[in-house]
Structure 1
Amino acid sequence: WMAYQLHQLEMDFKNITIICSILDWPWIKEAYNERKPYDQKITPLDNPKIYAVEKETLFFTLAEFPYITYLNEIYRQEIKPDKEVVIDGIKEILIQARKIFTQKHRPRYHNLTSQTFQTYLQYARNLTLIENRLTPDLYTLITVAKQISGDPFAIAVLEAAREYPFQVLESTSIEPLTLGIDKAVDSDNTPMNMKNRLSENQIEWRGINLKPEPNIKKQAQWKYNWDPYGQCSWPPEDDQIESFNTHVREQSKLLLSNDLARSEKFSSSIKDGVDMRDTLRHWHEGDIYVKEIPASRGRIEIVVFIFDIEPNPNNYPWCQTWYAEHNKESTLCFFATDYMNDMVGPGVGRATYGGCMMIYPPRPIPDIWKDPRIHIGKTLEEKLLEAAFFHSQEKHITVVTPCLPKPNWRKISRKYHKSIIHIPLKRFSNQTIEKVRRFHVLNGKQIRSFAKHFIQDL
């Protein structure tokens, strides 16, 4: 058949090049020289056609990640060695994924640092070796990204890995194909079977559960169907912020105790430990000093978190007071972004705290944003702090902020005869802060039964 095809081509072309296996060449040459008659049979094969490929489906036709193929082309243009491009390409994908993640979600804090990437690469290496592979596949990269930084970053890694900047379909008139697993669909939605002859490695297709961002059309529909008379929180996030609040209270009590600590010469007991500062200060005397930390007096009832020092009311238009559903929750007052502008599911909105105040044990109070008795504060954070000073039954108020308390805050606290215990926000990790700041609002308790299918994990 191959010799017959060569004779057919001789009728139209003078010079013909045939590329075949060297093992087949003697038989092809012999059949070509013999020129024996060939019984022409009807074959389903047709003349080849050239198609473009949809940018999002390039992964199904290339032998490696589209972004690594792009890096290979860049290295070839710049005449650089590409021996390590497959390994270094994974790092480039992570950097590109971080860029996509920050542009899409615009987080104030994130944990996508070089140290996190080092942990990511070590974890990906271990999983790759377990699967007896030399380089990680896409499933491994996405699995590690999801377990380290949640669904949003895993989706960013997927988008970065399949990105091929050279592919611009708008500049060509060639009909594009949408590829899949051994299948393709043309512009007329006609399916056809495909075979990838470039793949050198055996590919195993596996599924992973990711929760993508909804499109604008769905968000508009969910926003339209929202019931303005129903609103509640998401219980796992309640447990998370209550746990964080408890930790801050313990830190506050420790700071109160340290303020009351006193030092004395060692006699018979080391009490609460050696006071290294006083011991070194009296080193010439040859005495050892120990410290005694008495139990803290009073308790911490109200904790105020201010994540944005100078909040813009246009960025945080939603000011609300939420009451506890049970005695394990705090009374919560906060200002946050508008959840209606970020719908993630039917009856599920997402918002970000600019600042919040938590009262524990919980007790009902008037809405602080409508209470005429709270009138000194002019800005959002000042109103929140004034409400804390006004409603606190204890002398000490814990304030967690990125900076030192401002003079106006201390002025308001003195008016209400309260004192501020300041805890720097940087004492906590960026990932913890971001998890606490972001929360979801549900359109009624009935939404809790299926909300987990739309809420992304960080």
Structure 2
Amino acid sequence: MAHRLHLEQFGPVSALPILHYRMEFAHLVREAVARLKPDCICIELPPTLKSHLLRTIRRLPEISVLSYESKGGTVYLVIEPADPLVEAARLALEQDIPLHLVDIDLDDYPPHQGALPDSYAVHRLGLKAYYDEFRKAGSIPPGKEDLLREKGMTFQLQQLAKEHGRILFICGMYHLERVREFYERPQAAPLSRVRRDDVRLWNLHPDSCREILAEYPFLSAMYDLRRGPLPPEPEPSNLSLRKRFNALELIGGKTEIPEEEALRQAVLRSVRHVGGEGEMPDRQRIMLRLFQEAARHYRQETGESIHIWQKRAFFRFARNYALAGGSLLPDLFQMLTAARSCIDDNFAYAFYRLATYPMWQQEESDIPTVRLTPEDLWSGSRRIRFRPREQRRGKGLSPLAFLRRKKEKRPGEWLEGFDNQSICSYPPEDLIIEDYGRFLKQKGAKQLSEEQNRVEPFSASMLDGIDMRETLRNLHEGRIYVRENQRVKGGVGGVVVIFHEDSGNQRFPYHMTWLGEHAQESDMAFYATSPDDNIVGPGICRCEYGGFLLSYPPRRMLDVWSDGDYAFARCKSEVLLLAALDYSPEKHVVYVAARPPRSYFRQIAARLGKKIVYIPLGSLSPVKLKRLRIFHVLYGHDKRGTARDYVW
């Protein structure tokens, strides 16, 4: 691989061409300082900001903002770790190297919107090849403000060259070529502002860090943590984004697992996997680690794993989206779009939460805190909406309320809601599962009817109509085939849906029998994840079905899990099937699972005068099943009034 570092040499000046606010160029600054060991470092910022800049550098990795007034309005300068100019000033302070800000201060400098190559190309090609292609492509003609700044920087470099033998100059690619040309001729000191009294220093609010940073916080954290010795990888633990309790906590003891600690450990786990020690962090590997850690959190919260085909679709979608915009790798917005499109909104939110986690930023600081939006810094922004699959909001309501779901105001607040010994379900979820049960009954009856159909050649009667498929299949015979639809005797009484058999009783240890509360509800038996694994509100737990049984009419079912008649069943799915055969008033029972039941159960059904209608789980909509698997257990009927604020 080509050597990545390249310095432009003129006189005692070694100039590093950079793109502002790009992590790859910040690392090149480190390599340049290590190789050149300069007598002084010069950066493309005005000296009127120096005292305030040094104060913000000492606050790193906490992010600061410098602001001052100009003719065009308030100017904000964000001081973030992955900016090459910030890295140069930071190294100057750490290694006690003289730092000079050589730019001139202008009140009215027009923004440039020139297209630039993807900075990731530097990681693969090296800086020399990258800079050569940049110069060949050309750029927009310089304005008078650009020429004034470049001549001013050249004058400062000429003055410093009289005192120093090795000068490292960090300059934007757009300006460097003309600075090099101007250096061959003596320059005069330009007329410019020498002092600013209106410069203010701010601490950036953590919420603003999620929106306005040029490099998203997860990538910035990777870069900052790798500046020195790599931190130790966290010990494996059961730390989860889920909120848990145990029996002792219900009695009075309480523990708190903060979400921030789980996110922090995800960042620390990733530091060693994005490049070798001392090497430039690989943006592509950072993207991969971000996906893997987001998938871990998604699995903890929803119980759903990310499949290999979803992972492949995510990276293909993100790559194509980036290429369509002229980039090699996607930015954060494109990755979030890929996450939402290829998986779902809940994964996109887990991805967003980790990618934008401001690891060191605090809301309270020794300096005032400011909230900024992308419109305050840039000309515009792109918006993405996350919609939870369990909830739909009406017209006029915020589509981003999903991101602002309620959290505990103090540690242990939600545990106070478990003072009621009775439990109940959440009615909107009851309606969904009852509707799906009716759908499965209809599908089972239709499947039985199709099995009973008879096709024969037309002779004397058209029966129930012409069977076009069979007629075309036997077109060479020159005969017409007709169909006879025979009615199925007996309806469908019970429905069993098995998502996971859980033979070892490890993943779904919780089982329960619920009776219908009114005539429109079925009796239900199910096994699921433990409620205490995921507390989402005061007295509200989130669970995932392993399997369930619906039996109508209601209020007839005893506790199937303690019934001795089913003791010979090998697993919980067989218990549900036996109960469905036992309690079904109709002749047929629908059984939905990844594989059919053992033939022994068909014999049992025949003895009872029943029949099992098997529907493969893979023949049903995975999106609908995914939504169906999640349900909530409420500790007390009084929680139904507040559950809508916590169910997502």
Normalised by the shorter chain, which TM-score bucket? Answer: 0.5 to 0.7
Matches of 1:122 and 1:235 in 2, distance apart? 42
Residues 194-245 of structure 1: CA deviation (Å, up to 9, x unaligned): 999xx98435497933357998997855345313423221222222212221
Q: Corresponding residue for 1:250?
A: 442
Q: CA deviation at 1:332?
A: 1.0
Matches of 2:157 and 2:531 in 1, distance apart? 69
Distance 1:273 1:220, change over 3 A: farther
Matches of 2:563 and 2:591 in 1, distance apart? 21
Task: Give secondary structure in 2 for the equivalent of 1:369.
Answer: helix
Matches of 2:405 and 2:372 in 1, distance apart? 32
Deviates more, 1:114-123 or 1:425-434: 114-123
Matches of 1:160 and 1:447 in 2, distance apart? 31
1:429 to 604, 608, 621: 621
Unaligned 5+ residue runs, structure 2? 1-46, 48-101, 103-151, 224-273, 386-399
Matches of 1:60 and 1:115 in 2, distance apart? 29
Distance 1:55 1:13, change over 3 A: farther
Q: What's the TM-score once normalised by structure 2's chain length?
A: 0.50
Residues 98-129 of structure 1: CA deviation (Å, up to 9, x unaligned): 4653466441587973797599769989xx99
Residues 130-182 of structure 1: CA deviation (Å, up to 9, x unaligned): xxxxx998568657856885552122221454479xxxxxxxxxxx9627xxx
Equivalent position amino acid for 1:269 in 2: M
Matches of 1:372 and 1:177 in 2, distance apart? 58
Residues 35-74 of structure 1: CA deviation (Å, up to 9, x unaligned): x9xx99895879x9xx9x999948644356864997xx97
2:304 to 107, 111, 118: 107
Q: Are residues 1:209 and 2:209 paired?
A: no
Task: Give secondary structure in 2 for the equivalent of 1:410.
Answer: helix
Q: Corresponding residue for 2:361?
A: 178
Q: What's the TM-score once normalised by structure 1's chain length?
A: 0.68
Q: Corresponding residue for 1:62?
A: 214
Q: Corresponding residue for 2:424?
A: 232
Q: Corresponding residue for 1:155?
A: 349
Aligned counterparts, 1:45-84, within 5 A: 57=209, 60-62=212-214, 67=219
Deviates more, 1:2-11 or 1:108-117: 2-11
Task: Give secondary structure in 2 for the equivalent of 1:296.
Answer: coil
Equivalent position amino acid for 1:324 in 2: G
Matches of 1:45 and 1:261 in 2, distance apart? 84
Q: Corresponding residue for 2:487?
A: 295
Distance 1:424 1:8, change over 3 A: same
Check the 8 A contact 2:408/2:414 in 1, yes or no: no
Task: Give secondary structure in 2 for the equivalent of 1:420.
Answer: strand
Q: CA deviation at 1:300?
A: 0.3
Q: Corresponding residue for 1:384?
A: 576
Q: Corresponding residue for 2:259?
A: none
Check the 8 A contact 1:317/1:338 in 2, yes or no: yes
Distance 1:287 1:369, change over 3 A: same
Matches of 2:428 and 2:319 in 1, distance apart? 30
Distance 1:161 1:295, change over 3 A: same
Matches of 1:376 and 1:444 in 2, distance apart? 35
Check the 8 A contact 2:532/2:541 in 1, yes or no: yes
Distance 1:408 1:163, change over 3 A: farther
Distance 1:11 1:262, change over 3 A: closer
Q: CA deviation at 1:455?
A: 1.8
Which of the pair has the greater relative contact order for Cα pairs under 8 Å at 6+ separation? 1
Check the 8 A contact 2:523/2:552 in 1, yes or no: yes
Q: Corresponding residue for 2:368?
A: 191
Check the 8 A contact 2:602/2:612 in 1, yes or no: yes
Matches of 1:257 and 1:41 in 2, distance apart? 88
Q: Are residues 1:399 and 2:596 paired?
A: no
Q: CA deviation at 1:452?
A: 2.4
Residues 251-304 of structure 1: CA deviation (Å, up to 9, x unaligned): 111121122211222256372441634774x65642221111122221001011
Equivalent position amino acid for 1:101 in 2: Y
Distance 1:61 1:139, change over 3 A: closer
Distance 1:238 1:274, change over 3 A: same
Q: Are residues 1:337 and 2:547 paired?
A: no
Residues 394-450 of structure 1: CA deviation (Å, up to 9, x unaligned): 222111110121234334434434221111001113332221121111223332333
Matches of 1:58 and 1:258 in 2, distance apart? 56
Q: Are residues 1:349 and 2:541 paired?
A: yes
Matches of 1:7 and 1:195 in 2, distance apart? 39
Q: CA deviation at 1:340?
A: 1.9
Task: Give secondary structure in 1 for the equivalent of 2:550.
Answer: strand
Q: Are residues 1:364 and 2:545 paired?
A: no
Distance 1:61 1:105, change over 3 A: same
2:505 to 313, 321, 325: 313
Q: Corresponding residue for 1:269?
A: 462
Task: Give secondary structure in 1 for the equivalent of 2:298.
Answer: helix
Matches of 2:311 and 2:585 in 1, distance apart? 45
Check the 8 A contact 1:305/1:356 in 2, yes or no: yes
Q: Percent identity over the alignment?
A: 27
Task: Give secondary structure in 1 for the equivalent of 2:401.
Answer: coil
Residues 356-375 of structure 1: CA deviation (Å, up to 9, x unaligned): 11013434322222334444
1:441 to 633, 642, 645: 633
Matches of 2:321 and 2:640 in 1, distance apart? 34
Check the 8 A contact 1:98/1:112 in 2, yes or no: no
Deviates more, 1:284-293 or 1:144-153: 144-153
Matches of 2:568 and 2:332 in 1, distance apart? 56
Matches of 1:367 and 1:302 in 2, distance apart? 16
Equivalent position amino acid for 1:178 in 2: Q
Q: Corresponding residue for 1:168?
A: none
Q: CA deviation at 1:384?
A: 1.5
Task: Give secondary structure in 2 for the equivalent of 1:247.
Answer: helix
